[in-house]
Chain A
Amino acid sequence: MIKSTKKSVVGSSASSGRIKAIDIVNKGLKRRYRKEKRFRLYGMLSILASVAFLAFLLTSIVFNGYSAFLQTYIKLDVPLEAGMIDKQEPGRSDFQGIIKSAIRSYYPEVTERQDKRELYALFSSGAAFQLRDTVLSNPPEEGTTLSLWVLADDDVDMLMKGHMKRDVPEGSRRLNDKQLRWIERLEADKRVEKRFNTTFFSAGDSREPELAGIWGAVKGSIYTMLVTLALSFPIGICAAVYLEEFAPKNLATDFIEVNINNLAAVPSIVFGLLGLAVFLNFFGMPRSTPLVGGIVLMLMTLPTIIIASRAALKAVPPSIREAALGVGSSKLQVVASHVLPLALPGMLTGTIIGMAQALGETAPLLMIGMVAFIVDIPGGFTDPAAVMPVQIYLWADSPERAFVERTSAAIMVLLAFLISMNAVAVVMRKRFERRW
């Protein structure tokens, strides 16, 4: 096809006696522009497709998860009779019992054992802790009645949020008709309210969805990322600078280079196995801790950081190095004063990518016991902790309907964490990027 047009051009110009290059160029011009247009179209389509997918993903997460930021509370009047609160040690009083009697006094008609149990089930077991905190922080006088907004059970919460339908047959919902009537009475008394879910942002994991929070995992992630960053950034940059600027070019360094490139492609679970074998079994470090998790993730991010840093170093023009060497600086002075400042933005980019990878990683942590049910909020690098992706994985695996929305909410928190982490890095990169 193309060949034939070419021939005709040459033929026609030959017949007119002179071959003008511009005629051939003009002839092909249309085809070239068409090609360009087509290419642009492909580019636009692919961007459109990725934006659409991203939008779909984000909306579905937000749609599923936004309701987790609200939580149903029930107003409960708690009469404090004499002897209910322990005088010597108020913290050791039977708060569970006080709550139960408060509930009973609101529903005096419930007398059957079975009914009582079903009634209590409408309230979260966290209500007793709420009462305890209130009493301890502000000891009330005996005989007063405390008016307390206590957490509703997750089933009630789901009902209030519309995730559980009232008009389906009794057998196919988790609350029976009797319980529904009790709730309707609370609603009629305006004793049910959805409020901002502070528990979600301040608590650790829990078996009870209404008591479960992401904060423990956020802190675990913070500690883990700190360990990863503190180790992988300096080690990665030192390794890259050494390999690029100081190491002789021989078989050994070639071998190292090939291996670093290979390591970047190793499945992350392998690093977890390594962590298990070396750090837990050999060095005897504590399991399930940010310290070990951070070290394992450091191993995983190092190749990324080294490769990006070496690329950044390679991009520094050699004339700068020659200039500095030419005035008699040592190699270290060349690197520290001229090469590193120019390469740092690129190195930071590599670090961002590596850290983002590490933040979302679960597989290697599986091997070192970080996929565990951990209620306490970690207070340091050696406390057992979960990290956010692990928490998401655990909740996604839970049967309760209330954990579904919490899973999506946790993903949102993870994304927010990632975005703020990257924002910090971008700002830092901008500051270093004042290249002339």
Chain B
Amino acid sequence: MQEVLNKKNVEKRILAPRESRDTIGRINVSNPRMICRDVNVYYGDKQAIRNVSIDIGCNEVLAMIGPSGCGKSTFLRCLNRMNDTIDNCRVTGEILFDDKDIYDSSIDVVPLRAQIGMVFQKPNPFPKTIYENVAWAPRIHGIIESKSDADEIVETSLQKAGLWGEVKDRLDQPGNGLSGGQQQRLCIARAIAVSPEVILMDEPCSALDPIATAKIEDLIEELRTQYTIAIVTHSMQQASRVSQRTAFFHLGDLIEVGATEAIFTKPSHQLTEDYITGRYG
């Protein structure tokens, strides 16, 4: 009986609304591409993200880590307003892109999402040919006009995604016929075909084998020279390999942020240390 009561109390403590915890580490960078301040996200009455403030620098890879359900995907989806598609989702705070708040009513989400592309956790190619998967988005944006433009953009995008060699002879075949890893790279090719400035990746390698993962990590390293990348990952190794800065989330709070090396060698917060050493998670 006593045990049950105790357990209830612990649950209450965890689930009860509480003061947001301050973030440890430098949240700002010298040349930010996106600036987030006091971002709160609610699903109905339930708060999923609490007072998160962080900058994402130009040409940097920001890794977001944290236990399952802590709000990494939720925060990532705020950055290109994909949360708009969820009915009861509400976002407050400021997210600046090009000095404009993307949640401002004057902002049009269509061009915004063309500039801030997204790669989803689960590969989701269009049910069309490989060629169409890549060419569709540039075509609707009017980036390409002729067939030769399209051919060129398909080839360069697939090359950047490291998929060209494997699919160049079967461009007219369905995208769903590729293997999981190839599909994920196809989705990356699709995202970069519209030349976005920021790419958001939600656990892009969670379903991939080590070889495909390595290919995608190489790709991220290469893409960094031109794009700004925010990546959610459950793999500490991956975070330390690909990112320059790392942010640790816990139960909707941004606990700690800093240079990846620093986070992984001498974390400041106890929770961060517990998580990256595998004691918690």
The stretch that binds B, out of A93-101, A122-130, A326-334, A357-365, is A326-334
Jot down 23 A-B pairs with beta carbons below 8 A, ordered by A.
Answer: A249-B87, A320-B124, A320-B126, A321-B85, A322-B82, A322-B120, A326-B82, A326-B117, A326-B120, A326-B191, A327-B114, A327-B191, A328-B111, A328-B114, A328-B117, A328-B141, A328-B194, A329-B137, A330-B110, A436-B127, A436-B175, A436-B176, A436-B177
On chain B, the residues within 8 Å of A321 by CB distance are 85
Flag whether A113 is at the interface (Cβ < 8 A).
no
Main secondary structure on B side of the interface with A: helix
Shortest C-beta distance, B192 to chain A (Å), equals 10
Per the CB 8 Å criterion, the residue count for chain B at the interface is: 33
Flag whether A375 is at the interface (Cβ < 8 A).
no
Interface residues of B (CB under 8 A from A): 80, 82, 85, 87, 109-115, 117-118, 120, 122, 124-128, 136-137, 140-141, 174-177, 187, 190-191, 193-194
When the two chains form their complex, are residues B127 and A338 in contact, meaning their CB atoms are under 8 A apart? yes
Shortest C-beta distance, B216 to chain A (Å), equals 17
Interface residue range, chain A: 20 to 34
Shortest C-beta distance, B122 to chain A (Å), equals 6
Query: Which 9 A/B pairs are nearest by Cβ-Cβ distance?
Result: A328-B114, A436-B174, A328-B113, A327-B137, A319-B124, A326-B118, A323-B124, A436-B127, A436-B176
On chain A, the residues within 8 Å of B136 by CB distance are 327, 337
When the two chains form their complex, are residues B120 and A323 in contact, meaning their CB atoms are under 8 A apart? yes
Q: How far is the CA of A323 from the CA of B188 in the complex (A)?
A: 11
When the two chains form their complex, are residues B194 and A327 in contact, meaning their CB atoms are under 8 A apart? yes
When the two chains form their complex, are residues A328 and B127 in contact, meaning their CB atoms are under 8 A apart? no
When the two chains form their complex, are residues B124 and A329 in contact, meaning their CB atoms are under 8 A apart? no
Shortest C-beta distance, A184 to chain B (Å), equals 74
When A328-B194, A329-B110 are in contact, do A323 and B140 touch as well, CB less than 8 Å?
no
Flag whether A325 is at the interface (Cβ < 8 A).
yes
Residue of A with least CB distance to B173: A436
Q: How far is the CA of A27 from the CA of B43 in the complex (A)?
A: 49
When the two chains form their complex, are residues B82 and A325 in contact, meaning their CB atoms are under 8 A apart? yes
Q: How far is the CA of A272 from the CA of B191 in the complex (A)?
A: 54
When the two chains form their complex, are residues B127 and A342 in contact, meaning their CB atoms are under 8 A apart? yes
Flag whether A435 is at the interface (Cβ < 8 A).
yes
On chain B, the residues within 8 Å of A320 by CB distance are 124, 126-127
Shortest C-beta distance, B180 to chain A (Å), equals 14
When A249-B87, A436-B174, A436-B176 are in contact, do A319 and B120 touch as well, CB less than 8 Å?
yes
Q: How far is the CA of A337 from the CA of B132 in the complex (A)?
A: 11
From B120, B137, B177, A328 is in contact (CB under 8 Å) with: B137
When the two chains form their complex, are residues A338 and B141 in contact, meaning their CB atoms are under 8 A apart? no
When the two chains form their complex, are residues A328 and B112 in contact, meaning their CB atoms are under 8 A apart? yes
From A326, A329, A337, B80 is in contact (CB under 8 Å) with: A326
On chain B, the residues within 8 Å of A330 by CB distance are 110
Q: How far is the CA of A333 from the CA of B191 in the complex (A)?
A: 17
Q: How far is the CA of A330 from the CA of B110 in the complex (A)?
A: 6
On chain A, the residues within 8 Å of B191 by CB distance are 326-327
Interface string of A420-436 (1 = CB under 8 A from B): 00000000000000011
Shortest C-beta distance, B141 to chain A (Å), equals 7
Interface string of A156-197 (1 = CB under 8 A from B): 000000000000000000000000000000000000000000
